Amino acid sequence: MAFPVEDKHGFSVITLKGEVDLKNSPDARKVILNNLKKRRHVLVDLSGVEYIDSSGVASLVEGLQYARSNDLGFSLVGVSEAAMNVLRLARLDQVFRIYASLEDGLHGGG
């Protein structure tokens, strides 16, 4: 599955949706890191995520670490209940910068 990327107000907005698991988390990782390596600030829209496992979460953590190391913005927006439950379980809900909506993320500066 290819995860779509849109250019919005200087951000790369990456939309993960459906089930993010071992089968497609390598695609998520690739699209996140590719955009960060282009020196883009990244917002990851998780509003359409119905399921995410530890491999999907690992893709997000890797993006966060790359962004922090390279002084880039990396935030999650519109996190679905299913995804938030897993982030809480991993105690990562306090680690990521999370915005309620894409609009909030764009205004918040990533």
Partner 1 sequence: MALDEQLVSLTFFCRASRLKLLRCVIRDAAELVGLDEDATDAVVLAVNEACMNIMQHAYAMDPRGRIEVVISQEKNAMVFRLRDYAKPINTDAVEPRDLDDIRPGGLGVHFIRSLMDECGFLDTPEGGGNLFEMKKLINRKGDQNGVSG
Tokens 């927006």 belong to: 77
Minimum CB–partner distance for residue 80 and partner 1 (Å): 12
Minimum CB–partner distance for residue 58 and partner 1 (Å): 4
Tokens of 77: 């927006």
Considering the complex, state which of residue 79 and residue 86 has its C-beta at the smaller distance from partner 1.
86
> What residues does 8 pair with on adjacent strands?
11
Torsion of the alpha carbons at 11, 72, 4 and 94, rounded to the nearest 10: -110
DSSP H stretches of helix in the chain: 25-37, 54-69, 81-89, 102-108
Q: Which residues bind partner 1 (CB under 8 A)?
A: 19, 21-23, 51, 53-55, 57-59, 61-62, 64-65, 81-82, 85-86, 88-92, 95
Other Cβ atoms closer than 10 A to 45: 23
Minimum CB–partner distance for residue 17 and partner 1 (Å): 15
Considering the complex, state which of residue 57 and residue 102 has its C-beta at the smaller distance from partner 1.
57
Considering the complex, state which of residue 5 and residue 84 has its C-beta at the smaller distance from partner 1.
84
Minimum CB–partner distance for residue 73 and partner 1 (Å): 17
